[in-house]
Amino acid sequence: MDPVCLVMGAGAGIGGSVGKRFAQGGYHAVLCRRSDDQGLQRLVQDIEAEGGAASGFLLNAAEENSIEERIDAVEKEIGPIEVAVFNLGAQIGDRHLADTSYKAFELGWRLATFALFRFASAIMPRMEARGHGTLLVTSPTAAVRGNAGQHSHAAAMGGRRMLCQSLNAEFGPKGIHVANILIDGAVDAPDTLGKLLGPEEFQELRRTRGLENDGLILPERVAETYFHIAGQHRSTWTHELDLRSFSDRPWWNH
Amino acid sequence: MDPVCLVMGAGAGIGGSVGKRFAQGGYHAVLCRRSDDQGLQRLVQDIEAEGGAASGFLLNAAEENSIEERIDAVEKEIGPIEVAVFNLGAQIGDRHLADTSYKAFELGWRLATFALFRFASAIMPRMEARGHGTLLVTSPTAAVRGNAGQHSHAAAMGGRRMLCQSLNAEFGPKGIHVANILIDGAVDAPDTLGKLLGPEEFQELRRTRGLENDGLILPERVAETYFHIAGQHRSTWTHELDLRSFSDRPWWNH
Amino acid sequence: MDPVCLVMGAGAGIGGSVGKRFAQGGYHAVLCRRSDDQGLQRLVQDIEAEGGAASGFLLNAAEENSIEERIDAVEKEIGPIEVAVFNLGAQIGDRHLADTSYKAFELGWRLATFALFRFASAIMPRMEARGHGTLLVTSPTAAVRGNAGQHSHAAAMGGRRMLCQSLNAEFGPKGIHVANILIDGAVDAPDTLGKLLGPEEFQELRRTRGLENDGLILPERVAETYFHIAGQHRSTWTHELDLRSFSDRPWWNH
Amino acid sequence: MDPVCLVMGAGAGIGGSVGKRFAQGGYHAVLCRRSDDQGLQRLVQDIEAEGGAASGFLLNAAEENSIEERIDAVEKEIGPIEVAVFNLGAQIGDRHLADTSYKAFELGWRLATFALFRFASAIMPRMEARGHGTLLVTSPTAAVRGNAGQHSHAAAMGGRRMLCQSLNAEFGPKGIHVANILIDGAVDAPDTLGKLLGPEEFQELRRTRGLENDGLILPERVAETYFHIAGQHRSTWTHELDLRSFSDRPWWNH
């Protein structure tokens, strides 16, 4: 039985590419996303066409028990989750405080922080019982600095980052690798950046900065680093690393 | 009419002392806390006995509209809030992930992160309309690192810290001073540390490390720094600073 | 005998203002700077005209023994140094790597890092013997991030910041307060910013951003915070804080 | 002609292992170290025995022109340096300020900071002319926090880290990948940890924490991550990551 790589947030960007990469590396990729069943099935078929194993599930992470039941079912029906990738985003664009409703603020937390807590609560005990496992978390720049307009996003992602640290502190010594991967730049991803910008602006950005100039982070390249981190020997683990295009300014430079 | 200094979380530690200090500096101190009406009344009387102005209100910050209605009432009945101090704690002691319930995790967020968002949502527009004002936030060490057992606390406080940054980024240029004060050490406070340790262990710690040796952070000394920060000229503002006893190790030293 | 506040780098900006502020607070201000004896004497006279005590010395900090001998002489002839302020700058403007000579790189280190080490080596044993004392260090944004063109400055100031931490770790528990004050914005200072920009551009910046709009950090306001930090009770010490104008973006915001 | 991977500081720990790994990946490994010619020749022979290409040079990095001339010679006689690894250490053990001589402080800077500046000054223009290249720098925990006794080491390594950032800021957009790899834990390395502890204590530590328990960072595992980072596509570069054993506490946890 193949080890399982479960991806929470497996859209057409980083999550889907990470699933593919682990499938190429011999994992059964279990892909979970909120919507677009067609896109999900296409992803599963792509992996299977390459000779890999994959399953896809639609799942609303904000819904009670959705994450927990999926993890239960995967462990029972597919196999032990060896690598768990938490890749849910919660970017809602820049909004003034006055335009950030309580509901939007809470939803940011539900998706970005609380969903990771639920995810970890369901998976870590199983990994602990097995004595090994890997939890890879995707974080945006907002996890390390709060820009104007990012009230909901920054608060939620700052919480996510600290949770990664407390999970690592408890579970690292038990043989479970927790890594926080900071995506510090624009990703060439139709499901997130594409939706934020709209189709025309997105294609223009891809044309000018991205495909010709490597100025957008390419999801399939990100996936290589996720795969490397998951393969690190336990004598030599990375907890946090950043990723951006060569032409992007790191968050700390003006 | 005196300018108002509103303190959310005005117990017998930092919050109460900060209220006192601002009252000494000519502010009407409005003290809000969850419980212990007797202690609250004593605090108000202490301030009045010194010739200062103070009002006290019991308030459950986790309850819907509690914060918002109090701010409305203060602005209408007492006066414009010039300095708003957010000092709610959410420490529940060290707990393994398996012992951290969803409810505990969510309550941490409700008190540490969401309550600050509600507090800011109610106060900032008023300060913005007036073109000035100060928001002082107390944060614990867990805001900058996630230790084992601190899942709820670290996630909530990491969120709080990023929210301070996004608030500062939006409101600084509008003349409102937002500062995050990192309390990186044990505070000589019966309401928090005292309850966490129990009365005997707390008194022993006070005796050995604290009163004789200045090894516990003294709330009335903290209050001096809060008052200084609130008085900084807008050409020269601090957004973040740390505080600890001389004998304590900063969080970054082993 | 008044306690001594020694300022290394007492030009017309932060250093001079800090000296003045401590003189107003009852200290004998000992002002050291590299050049402009006239400016130095004017500063001393200003302080004395206000009823304060001050002495001024020209001193090339890059020169062997210059700092050490001055400290010796001050301790012998004026009195014990209670507060030592290290305020030497080393900004040489933005230069590409190819335009940064070994000499420029080394000089940056000599002034920004090594001079602090020499300063501390001379002062800390005296403070340790007395069981108290304060070392206040000024750092620029380059101490926390390396921008393009800042090779010499960033390397030197990053070293300075870590040295502040190691000094604090050794001497804090011995009762000596070490604080690193991060000046994260442009200062209204003719000796540094003025020279970097040239007189016309500097006056234009002062006019548009500064005096009318509080958009430049005002040295006399900075001095208030230095004085406050030096006065903190040892139960409640700050090791690091940032300062910038309300209208400036903190270094972590884009 | 194979691309060259030049390793400055190629002892029996991380540096040597990194050289080996790049040789396995098709690079000509150029290994530079200060002493132990026998060990160096053994390393070269090990690589050649595996079918790889390697050259070894003794070199005192503190000496004038040593680094610069070696780089010149390598570029002329062996080939263009595609990957440059800067792995010089400067740990001298914990020393009180009073026991840290000016000479020791300066030597720390010469090896840890200035040698990197010289290394980069010699290599970056060549990489810039070619439009590609990778600079990998090893940093210790002291680069991010100054512990008691680490005055020389922390100041020097804090400078190194900021220099990595300023180099990245200037050269990233020109297609040159600069990464700072933070080794946050004890490494199973006889040349550094072994010498610091002495042979008996080192073997005891290896036995109890290391080989049986993966509690020491294994250099050959570190090398895998260096190789991965060097291979990242320029759309997706890491600038900083940490490495430690699963059982070690990260520097930010107490």
- With an 8 Å Cβ cutoff, is B240 touching chain A? no
Number of C-alpha atoms within 13 angstroms, CB side, residue A133?
24
Between the alpha carbon of residue D132 and those of residues C97, C151, D5, D71, D84, the distances in Å are 17, 20, 13, 17, 12
- With an 8 Å Cβ cutoff, is A230 touching chain D? no
Residue A47 and residue A54: Cα distance in Å, rounded? 7
Residue C62 and residue C101: Cα distance in Å, rounded? 17
Which chain D residue is nearest to residue A243, measuring alpha carbons?
Answer: D238
- With an 8 Å Cβ cutoff, is D207 touching chain B? no
pLDDT-derived band at C218, boundaries 50, 70, 90: very high
Above pLDDT 90, what percent of chain B? 87
Q: Are C206 and C13 in contact (CB under 8 A)?
A: no
- Considering only the beta carbons, identify the residue of D144, D146, D253 that sits closest to B147: D253
- The two tokens of residue B49 are 């006995």
Chain D residues inside the 8 Å CB shell of C62: none
Q: Can you give the length of chain C in residues?
A: 254
Q: Is the Cβ pair D246, A172 closer than 8 Å?
A: yes
CATH topology of domain D4-188+219-243: Rossmann fold (3.40.50)
pLDDT-derived band at A64, boundaries 50, 70, 90: very high
- With an 8 Å Cβ cutoff, is D205 touching chain A? no
Chain D residues inside the 8 Å CB shell of B145: 252-253
Which chain A residue is nearest to residue D211, measuring alpha carbons?
Answer: A235
Sign of the dihedral through C-alpha B109, B113, B116, B122? negative
- With an 8 Å Cβ cutoff, is A216 touching chain B? no
Average pLDDT, chain D: 96
Sign of the dihedral through C-alpha A130, A131, A136, A139? positive
∠ CA D114-D116-D121 to the nearest 5 degrees? 95
- With an 8 Å Cβ cutoff, is B148 touching chain D? yes
Q: Is the Cβ pair A249, C254 closer than 8 Å?
A: yes
Shortest CA gap A5–chain D (Å): 21
Which chain B residue is nearest to residue D253, measuring alpha carbons?
Answer: B147
Contacting chains of B (3 CB pairs or more, <8 Å) are: A, C, D
Q: Is the Cβ pair C254, A147 closer than 8 Å?
A: yes
Chain B interface, mutation test: which of C235, C245, C247, C253, most B Cβ atoms within 10 Å? Answer: C235
Between the alpha carbon of residue B11 and those of residues A39, B16, B140, C169, D162, the distances in Å are 54, 5, 16, 32, 42
Chain C interface, mutation test: which of D99, D166, D168, most C Cβ atoms within 10 Å? Answer: D166
The pLDDT, as a whole number, for residue B233 is: 97
The pLDDT, as a whole number, for residue B3 is: 97
Q: Is the Cβ pair C159, D164 closer than 8 Å?
A: no
For chain A, helix (H) and strand (E) counts, in that order, are 9, 7
Q: Is the Cβ pair D218, A240 closer than 8 Å?
A: no
Average pLDDT over residues D35-39: 96
Residue B114 and residue B131: Cα distance in Å, rounded? 25
pLDDT-derived band at C194, boundaries 50, 70, 90: confident
Shortest CA gap C98–chain B (Å): 35
pLDDT-derived band at D1, boundaries 50, 70, 90: confident
Chain C interface, mutation test: which of D68, D105, D163, D174, most C Cβ atoms within 10 Å? Answer: D163
- Considering only the beta carbons, identify the residue of B145, B148, B249 that sits closest to D252: B145
Long-range contacts of D42-45 (CB under 8 A, 24+ apart): D43/D10, D43/D12, D43/D16, D43/D19
- With an 8 Å Cβ cutoff, is D233 touching chain B? no
pLDDT digits (tens, 9 = 90+) for A7-46: 999 999 999 999 999 999 999 999 999 999 999 999 999 9
What superfamily would CATH give domain C4-189+219-243?
A: NAD(P)-binding Rossmann-like Domain (3.40.50.720)
Instruction: Report CA A12 to chain centroid distance, whole Å.
Output: 12
pLDDT-derived band at C28, boundaries 50, 70, 90: very high
pLDDT digits (tens, 9 = 90+) for A112-166: 999 999 999 999 999 999 999 999 999 999 999 999 999 999 999 999 999 999 9
pLDDT digits (tens, 9 = 90+) for D115-167: 999 999 999 999 999 999 999 999 999 999 999 999 999 999 999 999 999 99
Shortest CA gap D139–chain B (Å): 17
Q: For chain D, what are the domain ranges?
A: 4-188+219-243
The pLDDT, as a whole number, for residue A196 is: 84
- With an 8 Å Cβ cutoff, is C38 touching chain B? no
Contacts for A119 with CB less than 8 Å, ≥ 6 apart = A8, A67, A71, A84, A86
Which chain D residue is nearest to residue C110, measuring alpha carbons?
Answer: D106
The pLDDT, as a whole number, for residue B207 is: 85
Query: Which of these CATH numbers, 3.40.50.1000, 3.40.50.720, 3.40.50.12160, 3.30.70.100, describes B4-187+218-243?
Result: 3.40.50.720
- With an 8 Å Cβ cutoff, is C161 touching chain D? yes
- With an 8 Å Cβ cutoff, is D112 touching chain A? no
